[in-house]
């Protein structure tokens, strides 16, 4: 699997990431009490299409399962890969994780955010803050000369201080022309282990952190992962470019 991207490929990934970031921002700004997750997903579909891209989630295959939605919308105890539905209405106090992956001109852009619906419980706010900060901290280790394990260990060390559960069943990954490319980037690990980071690598770093246990269960839909103890979960993600200097976050909206 190709890790290092050419300048032309990096520019294409940068453009795809801007599309993904624009879509995510619109959904984050729009989600509110009383919306169904189906309506939010359809807004994602419409925005992706308006920007000339396509959802990389819709139609994605894993074994015999085909993902039926355009974005991943995971509420409260749902960790990742939640499916928008008319049966799920956003409620006061909900924790809503939004994951947007697009394909634009053949390249992938990938990012996620977690939103708190008023009134916000202090415990939920603390979980979201710690998860977001763990991502920011880990991105600082995405430097040439470090290894994947340095990123993984940064998340683990940060989260352990808060006694939250780290999801081990899903990981970050390389970004290119398909949704999940090498190298895998767990949210736990040993410093100095894993693939060597070099300029031109594009990485999706995505802590998935649970208020309680890190253990998960899968719902019958074959996609939605939930916390085993049914406590809330948070998910933040950026696509990051390894450079000769500081890492560049590609999924910060530019307009």
Q: Is 41 annotated as a binding residue?
A: no
Q: Give Cβ neighbours of residue 98 (< 8 Å, ≥ 6 apart).
A: 24, 27, 28, 31, 40, 71, 72, 73, 112, 113, 114, 115
CA distance 134 to 136: 5
65 appears as a binding residue in the annotation: no
What Cα–Cα distance (Å) separates residue 11 from each residue in 8, 199, 212? 5, 14, 40
Rounded Cα distance between 115 and 121, Å, is 12
Using DSSP bridges, classify how beta strands 248-249 and 238-241 pair: parallel, antiparallel or unpaired: antiparallel
CA distances 40 to 21, 24, 137, Å, are: 16, 11, 30
Question: Is 94 labeled as ligand-binding?
Answer: no
81 annotated as a binding-site residue: yes
Where b means 16+ CB within 10 Å and e means fewer, 19-42 reads bbbbbbbbbeeebeeebbbbbbbe
Q: How far apart are CA 2 and CA 195, in angstroms?
A: 12
162 labelled binding-site residue: no
Any binding-site annotation on 206? yes
CA 40, 103, 6: angle at the middle one, nearest 5?
145
Residue 238 labeled ligand binder: no
Structure tokens at 239: 């696509």
Binding-site residue positions: 81, 99, 110, 173, 180, 206, 237
Annotated binding site for a divalent metal cation: 99, 110, 173, 206, 237
Annotated binding site for substrate: 81, 180
């Amino acid at each position: 699997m190709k890790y290092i991207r050419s300048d032309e490929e990096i520019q294409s990934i940068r453009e795809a990431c801007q599309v993904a970031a624009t879509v995510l921002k619109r959904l984050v700004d729009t989600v509110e009490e009383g919306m169904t997750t189906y309506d939010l997903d359809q807004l994602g579909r419409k925005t992706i299409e308006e920007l000339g891209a396509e959802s990389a989630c819709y139609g994605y295959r894993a074994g015999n399962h085909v993902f039926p939605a355009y974005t991943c919308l995971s509420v409260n105890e749902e960790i990742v890969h939640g499916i928008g539905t008319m049966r799920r209405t956003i409620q006061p106090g909900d924790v809503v994780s939004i994951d947007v992956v697009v394909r634009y001109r053949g390249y992938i852009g990938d990012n996620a955010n977690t939103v708190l619906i008023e009134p916000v419980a202090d415990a939920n706010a603390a979980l979201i803050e710690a998860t977001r900060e763990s991502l920011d901290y880990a991105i600082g280790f995405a430097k040439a000369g470090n290894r994947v394990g340095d990123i993984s260990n940064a998340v683990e060390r940060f989260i352990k201080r808060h006694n939250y559960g780290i999801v081990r069943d899903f990981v970050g990954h390389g970004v290119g022309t398909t949704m999940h490319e090498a190298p895998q980037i767990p949210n736990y690990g040993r410093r100095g282990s894993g693939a060597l980071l070099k300029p031109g690598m594009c990485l999706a770093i995505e802590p998935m952190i649970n208020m309680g246990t890190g253990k998960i269960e899968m719902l019958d839909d074959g996609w939605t992962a939930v916390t085993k103890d049914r406590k809330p979960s948070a998910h933040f993600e950026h696509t990051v470019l390894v450079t000769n200097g500081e890492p560049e976050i590609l999924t910060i909206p530019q307009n």
